Amino acid sequence: MTEKPHSANVLTDIRDYWYSPDFIELMAKRWELAHVKTMLDVGCGIGHWGQLLAPFSSPSMHMTGIDPEKLWVEKATERAQKKGLASRATYQIGSAEAIPFPDHSFDMVTCQTVLVHVKDASVALKEMLRVLKPGGLIAVAEPNNLVSRLIFNNLTFNDSVDDTIESVRFELICERGREKLNRGNAFRGDVIPFHFSQAGIENIQVYLSDLADYFIPPYKTPREHITLLGLDEDSEEHWNDARQEMQEFFFAGGGLSAEFEAYWNRFIKNKDRILAGYKNKALCSAGGLIMYLISGRKA
């Protein structure tokens, strides 16, 4: 069986709706993107993040994206062409831990949901700083995904205390296991400012995306529509793969084999309840989330 490229199930166009357009415009002013002439998008995937920022940077800005997956490099290139960015964007294979460029190459180095996946965020940051020019901007967007377990909707609001706590416990154990297996940590956004400070980055700023991941029937916004399509397309194979991965993380995080089945069944039951709520237009959620936008300057 051919191994799927990384993030195959999450690199969808929902990422174009992770932020309010006016919020990105505001961040562009805060980060002074109009002065950026060379930008590196690390772990670019199919190009969503860098291509979202590009219209707010200097008209002469050239963006380079790197990703370890050849397929994503190809798709990012195609996507840039469709968006009219072909002359301003170049994509190639490369990893966050070994960036294939000389020291002091870029005015800005950025990434989105990359530091939560790498083995060691401090190693990736060291590489990002190495290729950044003195005084250059480093800006990252990284989440704490555990928060979603404590954001209620009309279907989950009255869940028992025990069920809520156990759901959070399952996620925590799995993420601790993920980190022990050197696969990142989905809650790492909370500590990225610490890594910035330890790396000697100056003028550190932390902002929160102002977009709530809300779902209000009859789900008419493009973001809601794309999310629903993604849920409908999740196959049995996808959830079998997810089970295998979560089981691996759970055991590595110290979970007991006798516990996993009950945790997984609760997880699937909640997933099915939410999916049914979407399909029946019975789910309503304010949809809070935490996406940090963290920036600073190289000394």
Are 271 and 141 in contact by the 8 Å Cβ rule? The answer is: no
What is the average pLDDT value for the chain, to the nearest integer?
93
Instruction: Please give the backbone phi and psi of residue 38, each rounded to the nearest 5 degrees, phi first.
Output: -135, 125
Rg of the Cα trace of the chain? 20
Please name which of 181, 70, 195, 61 lies closest in space to residue 128, comparing C-alpha atoms. Answer: 195
Q: Are residues 89 and 42 in the same domain?
A: yes
Q: Are residues 139 and 149 in the same domain?
A: no
pLDDT digits (tens, 9 = 90+) for 114-138: 999 999 999 999 999 999 999 999 9
Q: Are residues 136 and 251 in the same domain?
A: no
Question: What CATH number is given to the structural domain containing 114?
Answer: 3.40.50.150
Q: Does residue 8 surpass a pLDDT of 80?
A: no
User: 112 lies in a domain?
Assistant: yes
Q: Are residues 193 and 171 in the same domain?
A: no
Q: Are residues 163 and 230 in the same domain?
A: yes
* Domain carrying residue 40: 8-144+187-212+290-299
Q: Are residues 154 and 138 in the same domain?
A: no
User: 173 lies in a domain?
Assistant: yes
pTM of the full predicted structure?
0.94
Q: Does residue 3 surpass a pLDDT of 70?
A: no
User: 197 lies in a domain?
Assistant: yes
pLDDT digits (tens, 9 = 90+) for 210-236: 999 899 999 999 888 888 777 766 667
Q: Are residues 161 and 233 in the same domain?
A: yes
Instruction: Count the alpha carbons within 13 Å of 135 in the hemisphere toward its beta carbon.
Output: 3
User: 34 lies in a domain?
Assistant: yes
Instruction: Please give the backbone phi and psi of residue 210, each rounded to the nearest 5 degrees, phi first.
Output: -90, 5
Identify the band that residue 2 occupies on the pLDDT scale cut at 50, 70 and 90. Answer: very low
Q: Does residue 77 surpass a pLDDT of 80?
A: yes
pLDDT of residue 1: 38
Q: Are residues 44 and 110 in the same domain?
A: yes
User: 93 lies in a domain?
Assistant: yes
pLDDT of residue 160: 96
pLDDT of residue 105: 98
- Hunting for tokens 């973001």 — which residue is that? 223
Residues whose CB falls within 8 Å of the CB of residue 188, separated by 6 or more in sequence, listed in order = 115, 116, 121, 142, 144
User: 263 lies in a domain?
Assistant: yes
For the segment 283-293, the average pLDDT, to the nearest whole number, is 94
Identify the band that residue 142 occupies on the pLDDT scale cut at 50, 70 and 90. Answer: very high
pLDDT of residue 238: 77
Please name which of 24, 277, 6, 267 lies closest in space to residue 139, comparing C-alpha atoms. Answer: 24
Cα→Cα distances 186→1, 22, 116, 291, Å:
27, 27, 5, 11
pLDDT of residue 232: 67
- 244: number of Cβ within 10 Å: 10
Identify the band that residue 189 occupies on the pLDDT scale cut at 50, 70 and 90. Answer: very high
Q: Are residues 205 and 176 in the same domain?
A: no
User: 172 lies in a domain?
Assistant: yes
Biggest CA–CA distance in the chain, Å, is: 59
Q: Are residues 78 and 226 in the same domain?
A: no
Domain total of the chain: 2
Q: Are residues 71 and 103 in the same domain?
A: yes
User: 3 lies in a domain?
Assistant: no
Q: Does residue 270 surpass a pLDDT of 50?
A: yes
Cα→Cα distances 234→9, 142, 279, 286, Å:
8, 24, 14, 23
Residues whose CB falls within 8 Å of the CB of residue 178, separated by 6 or more in sequence, listed in order = 184, 185, 186, 249, 252, 253
Q: Does residue 94 surpass a pLDDT of 70?
A: yes
Q: Are residues 70 and 154 in the same domain?
A: no
pLDDT of residue 86: 93
Share of the chain above pLDDT 90, in %: 82
Q: Are strands 132-143 and 62-67 parallel, antiparallel or unpaired?
A: unpaired
Q: Does residue 256 surpass a pLDDT of 80?
A: yes
Q: Does residue 91 surpass a pLDDT of 90?
A: yes
Are 13 and 226 in contact by the 8 Å Cβ rule? The answer is: yes
